[in-house]
Amino acid sequence: MFSAVLISKDEKGQTVALSQIDEAQLPEGDVSIDVEYSTLNYKDGLAITGKSPVVRKFPMVPGIDLAGVVTQSSHAEFAVGDRVVLNGWGVGEGHWGGLAQKARLKGDWLVKLPSAFTARQAMAIGTAGYTAALCVEALVNFGVKPEAGEVLVTGATGGVGSVAVALLAKAGFKVAAATGKASEGEYLQKLGASTIIDRNELSAAGKPLQKERWAGVVDSVGSHTLVNACAQTRYGGAVAACGLAQGMDFPASVAPFILRGVALLGIDSVMAPRARRLPAWARLAKDLDPAALALIAGTEIGLQEAIGVAGELIAGRIRGRVVVNVNR
């Protein structure tokens, strides 16, 4: 038996509880794992609170991230004792996830945990930080260079934004961090931001073309914020879009793309192939300063607490990352 957060649903609605589950109930997979840490992402918050129908079948163990130790494997790349990390692949939505003490998964979904990180640190990074690394990789591979100018990070106090600020600063970029939390300016400066801007400057409808400000952008917000970021991107710059905190809509003009040659780079972290995951984790291992990571991962909770904290996360009252010690 093991402990897990379990989401159930019947004609009366959704219920969430910390439950004891028989290991025989774990779903199919070729790698079994003793989970050490998980984390709460925005999608986990939606699943636990039921605010959005992200769970595709019930009962479901949420948690799109986990880090732990392999206890059984028939997969060629993983052996008993290997330390592994999981991000995405529909886990916590259609396949039991990481908010549990045990998991059984497909080995093709796993990445060996870089030696630079402990399991706790890997979950302080989580899908949010790994997505930030994908965004930075995309901008750098596109050709955005520090000497080209400032890079904007929207939603900067969130999980994606916090890690993106730290990675970009370490890579030599001058970073402008957009946030609606004026009190978090010192936090963002410690991560490496050189400029703090009010998110209200970006969140309302704006002109199709605006003053050129950014050599590149990491956007986790979407909607008008993404539109304005594109409209302010310099000639030949690039915008990496990975989120929709403000909305899924994109009420934009083609002007930035056809008049300034701006590139919009879509970033998917859930189904990204291993060929993209490995460089992202390598960048995190190389460029994410431990001091910055300690700032980002300011909260550690146990499994039972995850149910209540999910609501706080959805309400926007959580800074950075929430690490879940599943054995606490």
pLDDT, tens digit, for every residue of 166-210? 999 999 999 999 999 888 999 999 999 999 999 999 999 999 999
Share of the chain above pLDDT 70, in %: 99
Across 255-264, average pLDDT: 98
Q: What is the C-alpha separation between 226 and 220, in angstroms, rounded? A: 8
Tokens 């704006």 sit on residue:
206
Query: Is pLDDT larger for residue 214 or for residue 291?
Result: 214
**Residue-wise pLDDT tens digits, 143-172:** 999 999 999 999 999 889 999 999 999 999
pLDDT at position 231 is: 98
Three-state DSSP class for residue 289: coil
Q: Which of 102-111, 136-145, 182-191 has the lowest mean pLDDT?
A: 182-191
**Tokens, residue 193:** 């931001």
pLDDT at position 73 is: 98
Q: What is the mean pLDDT of the chain?
A: 95
Domains located in the chain, CATH noted: 2-113+298-325 (3.90.180.10), 127-266 (3.40.50.720)
pLDDT at position 317 is: 80
Q: Which of 4-8, 75-79, 320-324 has the lowest mean pLDDT?
A: 320-324
Helix, strand, coil content of the chain in percent (nearest 5): 35, 30, 35
Q: What is the C-alpha separation between 4 and 103, in angstroms, rounded? A: 10
Residue 315 pLDDT grade (very low, low, confident, very high; cuts 50, 70, 90): confident
Q: Alpha helices of 143-177 — where are they, by DSSP H?
A: 159-170
Name which of 133, 138, 127, 151 is nearest 270 in CA terms.
127
Q: What is the C-alpha separation between 175 and 191, in angstroms, rounded? A: 10
Query: Which H or E element spans position 287?
Result: helix 274-287
Our CA dihedral for 202, 315, 124, 158, rounded to 10 degrees, sits at 10
